A and B are shown apart, each in its own frame.
Chain A
Amino acid sequence: MKKIYLDNAATTPVHPEVLAAMAPYFSDQFGNASSIHSFGQVARSAVDAARREIAQFLNCKSTEIIFTSGGSESDNLAINGVVESLKSKVESKPHVITSAFEHHAVLDTIIELEADGVIEATYIKPSSDGLIGAESVKKAIKKNTLLVSIMYVNNEIGTVQPIRAIGQMIEKENKTRDSRIFFHTDAVQATEYFEMNVDYLHVDLLSISAHKIYGPKGVGLLYVRSGTPIKHQIVGGGQEHKKRAGTENVPGIIGFAKAIELIDRSKNERLKKLRDRLIDGLLKIPNSRLNGSQEERSPANVNISFLNAEGESILLNLDMEGIAASTGSACTSGSLEPSHVLSAMGLPPEECHGSVRFTLGRQTAAEEIDKVILVMKNIVEKLRKMSPLK
């Protein structure tokens, strides 16, 4: 049975060209980029070149990029780094604004800082179609606000937040404030499809992960605009401009740069068509609903709730048909709470439990979409027949 992979928001396969670019840096050019000898210098110049290429992609300076182990570390560093750097310099307790449906790498970091009494926090609820308006961020701003962190594309429902509008609004606010507000965005799910020019977006900090864009796992970056105060979280050597200690992940960084080079936004339209085909097909199943706006949406994301069919049971059935998808349903995550994303949007728990996320990718074909629609119809029918609720 040919398998169908529709979980590209979880991770993507490493592109063969990425793998080829990385290959020499494991055993052949294995040097430590901090070493003074030729082995080290080969690694150093490769890392420098990769950094320059990525800086071009982000329209920033090389020195504004901190390589990390991935999206979670980048998010943690952005929030903890800015808060720790500034908390002693402000009079009142610092205030951080985020959304209630952030990735846990952002959300839990802020919740922990709040629980430890380090910060005050505001969690903005998204609209029922999964969007955060610049106005609602503006309303949450207080005198002691020092950081706003709003994700670019939501990982579960794929809605696209107006990062540029939020960035411009904050920039305008900053002109009349005594103390600056810094703006971070988790762009992990956006990198493949949307504008990443940090000046255009008006962001001060931005997180990216390589394995979501056909690069290797274990490498990511945090863009930090010059002048943004940030305290390192990993202490040791002086790597990454003393902002993140640890020997550089040379093959990872080389692969990361290659993955970014291979991004082709002209393919967005193709994916969008497939996405809408899948949405239309699945919405023909009775008692189903699309979660999140269809217009302001990643071309890769389909998230649909099926009433009276449970998410994990759907996934297990899909897996038996060789189809890989995902769910924010309680039961899969091990915790019994329904998805914090869908709950934040005001979806009743019984609808959260039957949500399934399909995330398309470069390899997704039209025949696969049609097969999934057919299989899903049968699965939902079968599960509803088993259910005591009709």
Chain B
Amino acid sequence: MENIYSEKIMDHFRNPRNLGEIADADGVGVVGNPRCGDVMKMYIKVESRKSKVGKAEEFIRDIRFQTLGCGAAIASSSIATEMAKDKTLDEALKISGKDISREMGKFPPAKFHCSILAEEGIKKAIADYRKNEVRRKK
């Protein structure tokens, strides 16, 4: 079984990073569908900090996930959360499925959609945060 996946995927599958919920999340994104076998939920906590040039920037202070799905779906969620953590929202929005799959290493081509799902999960959580922000400012 192990050899269809890279050691990194198996490591994240065995010991997922950032697994769980954030009760007071600033943004939540749910992607996938139980009918196709994978459902991914991303929670983010957003804060503001000063960038190197002294400008205020929003960044992902904490990110957590819950996933129902195959080994690649669980590992891609875990790996994607590691990639997104501490990134500014603009940087996090630039993380693509391709970037995530590169980090994952070897997996069967049919599983590429798992990395896309993780990309979409992050994007949806950020979109949700921004929607909430607009509401808060009103």
- Which A residues contact B (CB, under 8 angstroms)? 308-313, 315-316, 319-320, 329-332, 334-336, 338, 348-350, 353, 383, 386-389
Contact = CB atoms under 8 A, between A and B. Distances in A.
Nearest to A390: B66
Contacts, number: 77
A331 B35 contact: no
B15 to A, nearest CB: 11
Contacts of A316: 1, 10, 13, 71
B37 A349 contact: yes
B67 A387 contact: yes
A308 to B, nearest CB: 6
Interface residues of B, number: 29
A329 B71 CA distance: 12
Nearest to B14: A320
Interface string B10-40: 1001101001000000000010001111111
Nearest to B113: A336
9 contacts: A313-B13, A319-B1, A331-B37, A331-B69, A331-B71, A386-B16, A386-B68, A387-B66, A389-B34
Contact of A350 (B30, B35, B70, B113): B35
Given A310-B73, A334-B108, 20 more contacts: A310-B38, A312-B70, A313-B69, A313-B74, A316-B1, A316-B13, A329-B37, A331-B72, A331-B73, A331-B111, A332-B70, A336-B37, A348-B35, A349-B37, A350-B37, A386-B16, A386-B19, A386-B67, A387-B39, A388-B30
A378 B36 CA distance: 24
Contacts of A315: 1
A335 B110 contact: yes
3 tightest Cβ-Cβ pairs between the two chains A and B: A388-B41, A331-B70, A387-B68
Contacts of A311: 70
Given A316-B1, A334-B108, A349 B36 contact: yes
Interface of B: 1-2, 10, 13-14, 16, 19, 30, 34-41, 66-74, 108, 110-111, 113
A316 to B, nearest CB: 5
B40 to A, nearest CB: 7
Nearest to A316: B71
B30, B37, B39, B41, most chain A CB atoms within 10 A: B37
B105 to A, nearest CB: 16
B14 to A, nearest CB: 7
